[in-house]
């Protein structure tokens, strides 16, 4: 029952006696005085609930303990095809602003050949604030099959590596210029070909005795026009075999009967 109901006083007196009447009369006076303020408060409260308050503020930037670059790919895995070969590429911390977190990006590229063997490349990279890009890493190749690889082909001589297995490893780094070293090791090699003339015949005969050889390469300089240095023990092997083949040919000539 509302406190301002006219029957309130009589009922309370009946229930609680004459003492409560004086307290109730005081309460009625306080209520009568406060009621206009309460009514106004309730009116405003209902208006606020019906129409939510709109707060206009400022764009405040809070500094982070772990700042982030403009864009960042934390981890990625991509399958792609390069020159007809399928590669799996995994990478982390991919961004053009490595300097923000001061964490280098990492990448691994791997290829498994259908005929056996694999190639694996792994390295790190860093994109500095002055837009300078650097990378370094290593690679290795395990028993990659090499079949029917053409080495020379013209009217006088056609030569190909019919079969072989290839192992390889190397390192590389790039900071304004490329600097890299590579070793290729061929084994179980079989050469085949055709040619005209004594030289072609002797060369093909020489290569038939070569079943393994190594190639060392250094690639350095600008990416668009790098310098290439190649060194191989194949030269010595072929020279030795060539001299042996020449001696063999000379013996054949000496063995032929002389015409008077």
Q: Is residue 213 part of a domain?
A: yes
Given a cut of 90, whether residue 128 has pLDDT beyond it is yes
Q: Is residue 79 part of a domain?
A: no
| pLDDT of amino acid 97 | 94
Q: Is residue 106 part of a domain?
A: no
Distance CA 121, CA 94 (A): 17
Grade residue 258 by pLDDT with cuts at 50, 70 and 90. Answer: low
| DSSP SS3 for 209 | coil
Q: Are residues 148 and 33 in the same domain?
A: no
Q: Residue range 219-235: average pLDDT?
A: 89
Q: Residue range 81-104: average pLDDT?
A: 93
| pLDDT of amino acid 69 | 92
Q: Is residue 64 part of a domain?
A: no
- Taking Cα atoms as reference points, which of 176, 169, 170, 171 lies closest to residue 224? 176
| Full residue range of the structural domain in which residue 194 is found | 132-255
Between 23 and 168, the more confident residue is 168
Given a cut of 70, whether residue 52 has pLDDT beyond it is no
Cα three-residue angle 116-122-123, rounded to 5 degrees = 165
Q: pTM value? A: 0.64
Q: Are residues 46 and 137 in the same domain?
A: no
Given a cut of 50, whether residue 24 has pLDDT beyond it is no
Bridge partner residues of 178 (DSSP): 174, 221
- The mean pLDDT of the chain is 78
Helix, strand, coil distribution of the chain in percent, nearest 5:
30, 45, 25
Q: Is residue 126 part of a domain?
A: no
Given a cut of 60, whether residue 31 has pLDDT beyond it is no
Q: Is residue 165 part of a domain?
A: yes
Q: Is residue 225 part of a domain?
A: yes
| pLDDT of amino acid 78 | 93
Q: Are residues 138 and 244 in the same domain?
A: yes
Q: Are residues 251 and 137 in the same domain?
A: yes
Q: Are residues 46 and 136 in the same domain?
A: no
pLDDT more than 70, % of the chain: 68
| DSSP SS3 for 258 | coil
Q: How many domains does the chain have?
A: 2
What phi and psi values does residue 144 have, to the nearest 5 degrees? -80, 130
Q: Are residues 142 and 38 in the same domain?
A: no
122 touches 135 (CB < 8 A): no
Between 87 and 55, the more confident residue is 87
Q: Is residue 237 part of a domain?
A: yes
């Amino acid at each position: 029952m509302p406190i301002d109901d006219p029957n309130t006083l009589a009922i309370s007196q009946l229930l609680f006696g004459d003492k409560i009447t004086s307290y109730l009369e005081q309460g009625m006076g306080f209520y009568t005085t406060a009621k206009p303020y309460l009514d106004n408060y309730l009116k405003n409260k209902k208006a606020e609930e019906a129409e939510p308050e709109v707060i206009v503020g400022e764009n405040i930037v809070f500094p982070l303990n772990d700042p982030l670059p403009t864009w960042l790919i934390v981890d990625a895995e991509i399958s792609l095809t390069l020159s007809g070969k399928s590669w799996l590429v995994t990478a982390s911390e991919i961004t053009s602003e490595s300097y923000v977190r001061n964490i280098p990006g990492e990448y691994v590229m791997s290829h498994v050949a259908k005929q056996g063997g694999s190639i694996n490349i792994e390295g790190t990279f860093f994109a500095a604030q002055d837009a300078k890009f650097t990378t370094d890493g290593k690679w290795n190749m395990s028993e990659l099959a090499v079949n029917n690889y053409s080495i020379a082909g013209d009217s006088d001589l056609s030569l190909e590596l019919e079969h072989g297995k290839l192992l390889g490893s190397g390192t590389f780094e790039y900071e304004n210029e490329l600097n890299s070293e590579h070793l290729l090791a061929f084994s179980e090699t079989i050469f085949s070909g055709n040619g005209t003339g004594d030289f072609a015949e002797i060369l093909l005969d020489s290569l038939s005795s070569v079943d393994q050889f190594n190639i060392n390469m250094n690639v350095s300089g600008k990416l668009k026009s790098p310098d290439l240095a190649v060194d191989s023990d194949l030269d010595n092997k072929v020279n030795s075999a060539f001299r042996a083949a020449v001696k063999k040919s000379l013996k054949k000539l000496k063995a032929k009967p002389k015409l008077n």
